[in-house]
Chains A and B, each alone.
Chain A
Amino acid sequence: MKTLKILVILLIGGLAISFFSGMLEGKERNNLFAERPAPYKEKKNASAAREISTIKGYDIGDTATDFSLKNTDGSTTSLKDFKDAKGFVIIFTCNHCPYSVAYEDRIIAIDQKYKNVGYPVIAINPNNPKEYPTDSFEAMKVRAKEKGFTFPYLLDAGQKIYPQYGATKTPHVFLLQKEGKNPIVKYIGAIDDKYQDANEVKNTYLENALQALLSGEPIKQTRSTAIGCRIK
């Protein structure tokens, strides 16, 4: 009889403890993933930049800004360096994003095909390497060499350029055409509509736009959407 009493007390006690521990667990659950240590001020700036990027950014027909960014080959690259170019294929891309990686070969192919007719690719990594260590300048150098990038691969150090363009993700393409000296935005969006497999693409948005520019025709589709990794 006594043992039964003790058992009942233990049972009730156990239930009560489990109830409270459940509550505690609920409260502590948000610590499951440790937050990346980042100074408060920097965090605030980053979120401000993200908001700007969703509000502003270029429309078709806007003049794109030039920049002066560090290239993985050690030089500094600006649009004005390309005196003979008719325009540019600006692609915001990076190392860490699987969508970007899936497009690397296609980006190289586009550069090789269109550089000679006046539209070189310029790749820009817009991410803060503190958020994504695999997007550091050193890691960019390694990746550019590994894949044999035929185009400049630049770091948007300080993240000043991507918000002006209005890039929100990687990969994110801005096709520019020079009118006089000004690079004018002609197409914004995706490279094509299937990242997993280049052979199963239905719409080659970027190439269609490039072909239209080359033949002097209006671009049928000046914007497209695709999944990408949010710039951080």
Chain B
Amino acid sequence: MKWNLLIAFLILSLVSCDQRPIAKVVAIDQNGLQQALVADNEKIKVINFWATWCAPCVEELPYFEKIGASYKNQVEVILISLDDAKNITSEVQPFLENNQIRSQVLLLDDPYAAEWIPIVDQHWDGAIPVTLIISKDKKQFYNKALTYKELEDAINEFL
């Protein structure tokens, strides 16, 4: 009997884990950024620029995680970190593990921000956090930190 209980709990603990694995950060350059910004035919892309040291960014990350999980069939969340590439193993990846981040995470390793800021949006002044929502026929740029409600409302406008 004890064994049965044990087996049941083992199965229970396996199933209750979130299916999505913890994100693994991938470094990209300007070309990688261009690709990330291309609209997808099926899903709405939600692209957030952030950094581990940016307090308002870290505050809103759970909202993006929640959106990614709740709208997983309609929305693809991409978190683009602007952390320094030399901190990937020392800071960024541990941060993702500690905070259980499961959305796709890219790290833009290109210091010449003046070149790629206008590629993201011509109205961007370079302050983070910042969020971009792209579908095949629409693009919306949010030059501010978002609340969960603001983010969800923004996505509903695209659905």
Q: Which residues of A contact B (CB under 8 A)?
A: 3, 6-7, 10-11, 13-15, 17-18, 21-22, 25-26, 29-33, 35-36, 50, 54, 96-98, 131-132, 168-169, 190, 193-197, 200, 202-203, 224-232
Contact = CB atoms under 8 A, between A and B. Distances in A.
A33 B58 contact: yes
Contact of A10 (B5, B58, B143): B5
Contact of A230 (B56, B58, B113): B56
Contact of B70 (A11, A26, A96, A97): A26
14 contacts: A7-B7, A10-B8, A13-B8, A22-B16, A26-B70, A54-B143, A98-B84, A168-B125, A169-B126, A225-B118, A227-B126, A230-B129, A230-B144, A232-B56
A14 B66 contact: no
A33 B118 contact: no
Given A10-B7, A190-B126, A196-B111, 11 more contacts: A10-B8, A15-B11, A30-B62, A31-B62, A32-B65, A32-B100, A33-B58, A33-B61, A193-B111, A225-B125, A227-B113
A10 B3 CA distance: 12
B66 A29 contact: yes
Interface in B51-92: 51, 53-56, 58-59, 61-63, 65-66, 69-70, 82, 84
B74 to A, nearest CB: 16
B113 A225 contact: yes
Contacts of B70: 26
Nearest to B117: A225
Nearest to A2: B1
Contact of B62 (A32, A36, A196, A226): A32
Interface residues of B, number: 46
Interface in B111-147: 111-115, 117-118, 124-129, 143-145
Nearest to A221: B114
Nearest to A13: B8
Contact of B59 (A6, A29, A35, A202): A35
B159 interface: no
A29 B148 CA distance: 11
Nearest to B12: A14
A125 B11 CA distance: 54
Nearest to A51: B144
Given A10-B4, A131-B55, A232-B55, A15 B113 contact: no
B9 A25 contact: no
A190 B53 CA distance: 20
Nearest to A203: B114
B112 A194 contact: yes
A225 B4 contact: no
Contact of A14 (B8, B18, B114, B128): B8
B12 A17 contact: yes
Interface string B4-22: 1101110110011010000
Contacts of B84: 98, 196
A130 B29 CA distance: 36
Contacts of B113: 193, 195, 225-227
Nearest to B82: A227
Given A22-B18, A29-B65, A29-B69, A194 B111 contact: yes
A209 to B, nearest CB: 14
B128 A229 contact: yes
A106 to B, nearest CB: 14
Contact of A26 (B54, B63, B66, B115): B66
B66 A30 contact: yes
